């Protein structure tokens, strides 16, 4: 009984193995694929050119490094060509119209990204199978991670655009052997995942011919254009800097004898220094120009240093002994500032109203009194407050209008 059972099992296994070996796909792999030479260009006439057609589909934009102007993205290629060695009559193989052999057994064009930041490697990997049809049509859909160099106009930062290029070449064959053709002049972006601070514009693909080592080779240029979304930068850097520039002018309204004037003045340039430290790694490093925002930040940092210096002199003047003589220049300066301030306050009012209030007599009496060091300190603060406040009041609205126009408000 045991012997009969073993014989039945052996017969069953042999029958299953025989049935599997008799399938059309199994015989097709044995007859064509396993004996195929993947290193031979698949044409019988070696003077014939193989035309390789492909499309590029951008999948994600992962990261952009501002200081190196380097873009990290992922995408995939839909590549196809005709292989004269891989054809068969489907009726002889149980109606099998196509198979998916490993790419190591099929000839492929050695496509390389010639301008990659990383080492030069063939596009794709062994994990991607190919689809081979009975009439010799081969389809290869392969993806990869790309490190691309991007050009940006730093003069427009943060309202700039990125222009990144990817150069695809056939590394080992000349144009007469393998010719690259583009099916569409734009890349596929329907499945793209472009988030964060970038907005993708139409991506162009152009096929050209270039010379490498005195040999013409097929060359395809893929150009990615990305517009920056500056909202994050505006609300986290530009607006705080504008607010700091306004706050800096109010240091001259703090009384010199309050004890807080210099400490408040020093806080402003320290805040600018913190922001400049953040911006070092964010703004592209280029010798072709510098962002106007960096120039504005440098000017406001310089103005804040002026605030500190003027505040020190104001506090020093306020603390001077009244027995120390005051130069005629400072006296004339103080009286002139007080008159200009009085004109600004009373110049547009009716004279009877001014006289009834007694403010005019008080001002006239003040101008006839000897100039003191405290009056010099107040005049100095008042002069620099209006001198530096007016540019801020004019520049900030212009800056906000410019930002609003670029943001589409």
**Hey, which residues does 51 pair with through a beta bridge?**
179
pLDDT score for 137:
92
pLDDT score for 138:
92
**The tokens 């107040």 sit on which residue?**
378
Q: What does DSSP assign to residue 36?
A: -
Name 191's Cβ contacts closer than 8 Å, sequence gap at least 6.
57, 59
pLDDT band at 104 (very low <50, low <70, confident <90, very high): confident
pLDDT at 16 over 60: no
pLDDT score for 81:
92
From the number of C-beta atoms within 10 Å of its C-beta (0-12, 13-18, 19+), residue 335 rates as middle
Average the pLDDT over 265-286 and give the result.
Answer: 75
Share of the chain residues as helix, strand and coil, in percent rounded to the nearest 5: 45, 25, 30
In this structure, are residues 81 and 106 in contact, taking their beta carbons and an 8 Å threshold? no
From the number of C-beta atoms within 10 Å of its C-beta (0-12, 13-18, 19+), residue 296 rates as middle
In this structure, are residues 62 and 40 in contact, taking their beta carbons and an 8 Å threshold? no
Torsion of CA 173, 177, 183, 188, to 10 degrees: -20
pLDDT tens-digit profile of 235-271? 878 788 888 888 888 888 888 877 788 888 888 888 8
Q: What is the CA radius of gyration of the chain?
A: 39
Element (H, E) at 215: strand 215-228
Q: For 371-405, give one letter per residue: b (16+ CB within 10 A) or e.
A: bbbbbbbbbbbbbbbeebbeebeeeeeebeeebee
d(CA 70, CA 208) in angstroms, rounded, equals 24
41, HSE (Cβ side, Cα atoms, 13 Å): 19
What angle (nearest 5°) sits at the alpha carbon of residue 306, between those of residues 300 and 311?
130
In this structure, are residues 115 and 149 in contact, taking their beta carbons and an 8 Å threshold? yes
Name 247's Cβ contacts closer than 8 Å, sequence gap at least 6.
268
360, HSE (Cβ side, Cα atoms, 13 Å): 12
In this structure, are residues 116 and 147 in contact, taking their beta carbons and an 8 Å threshold? yes
pLDDT at 13 over 60: no
Cβ count within 10 A of residue 288 = 10
pLDDT score for 125:
66
Give the orientation angle of helix 239-249 with respect to helix 373-407, to 10 degrees.
160
pLDDT score for 127:
65
pLDDT at 18 over 50: no
pLDDT band at 368 (very low <50, low <70, confident <90, very high): low
pLDDT tens-digit profile of 284-340? 666 566 777 777 777 888 888 888 888 888 888 887 777 788 788 888 888 888 777
Task: Name the more confident of 286 and 379.
Answer: 379
pLDDT score for 19:
41
Element (H, E) at 343: helix 328-346
Give the three-class secondary structure for 105.
Answer: helix
In this structure, are residues 261 and 254 in contact, taking their beta carbons and an 8 Å threshold? yes
At residue 212, what are phi and psi to the nearest 5 degrees? -135, 120
pLDDT tens-digit profile of 191-242? 666 666 778 887 888 887 777 767 778 888 888 888 888 777 778 787 888 8
pLDDT at 146 over 80: yes
Q: ω before 158 within 30° of 0 (cis)?
A: yes
d(CA 128, CA 78) in angstroms, rounded, equals 12
| 111-113/161-170 β-pairing | antiparallel
Average pLDDT, the chain: 77
| 98-99/215-228 β-pairing | unpaired
């Amino acid at each position: 009984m045991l012997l009969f059972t073993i014989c039945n099992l052996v017969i069953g296994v042999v029958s299953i193995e025989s049935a599997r070996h008799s399938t059309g796909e199994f015989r097709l792999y044995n007859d064509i694929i396993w004996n195929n030479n993947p290193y031979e260009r698949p044409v019988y006439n070696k003077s014939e050119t193989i035309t390789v057609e492909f499309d590029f589909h951008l999948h994600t934009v992962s990261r952009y490094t501002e200081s190196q102007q380097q873009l990290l993205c992922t995408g995939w290629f839909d590549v196809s060509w005709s292989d004269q060695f891989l054809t068969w009559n489907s009726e002889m193989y149980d109606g099998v119209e196509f198979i998916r052999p490993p790419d190591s057994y099929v000839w492929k064009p050695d496509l390389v990204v010639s301008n990659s930041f990383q080492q030069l490697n063939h596009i794709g990997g062994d994990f991607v199978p190919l689809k081979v049809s009975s009439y010799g049509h081969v389809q290869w859909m392969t993806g990869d991670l790309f490190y691309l160099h991007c050009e940006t106009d730093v003069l427009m930062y943060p309202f700039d655009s990125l222009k990144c290029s990817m150069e695809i070449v056939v590394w080992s064959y000349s144009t007469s052997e393998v010719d690259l053709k583009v099916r569409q002049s734009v890349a596929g972006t329907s499945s793209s995942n472009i988030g964060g601070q970038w907005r993708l514009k139409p991506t162009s693909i152009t096929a050209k011919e270039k010379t490498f080592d005195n040999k013409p080779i097929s060359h395809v240029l893929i150009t990615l254009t990305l517009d920056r979304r500056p909202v994050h930068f505006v609300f986290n850097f530009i607006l705080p800097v504008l607010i700091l520039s306004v706050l800096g002018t109010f240091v001259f309204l703090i009384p010199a004898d309050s004890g807080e004037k210099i400490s408040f003045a020093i806080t402003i340039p320290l805040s600018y220094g913190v922001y400049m430290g953040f911006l070092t790694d964010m703004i592209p490093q280029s010798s072709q120009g510098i962002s106007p925002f960096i120039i504005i930040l440098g000017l406001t940092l310089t103005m804040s240093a002026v605030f500190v210096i003027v505040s020190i002199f104001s506090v020093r003047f306020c603390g001077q002994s009244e027995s120390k003589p005051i130069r005629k220049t400072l006296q004339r300066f103080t009286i002139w500032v007080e008159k200009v301030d009085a004109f600004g306050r009373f110049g547009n009012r009716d004279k009877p109203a001014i006289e009834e209030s007694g403010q005019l007599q008080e001002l006239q009496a003040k101008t006839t009194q000897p100039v003191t060091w405290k009056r010099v300190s107040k005049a100095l603060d008042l002069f620099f407050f209006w001198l530096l406040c007016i540019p801020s009041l004019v520049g900030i609205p212009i800056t906000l209008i410019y930002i609003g126009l670029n943001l589409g408000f």
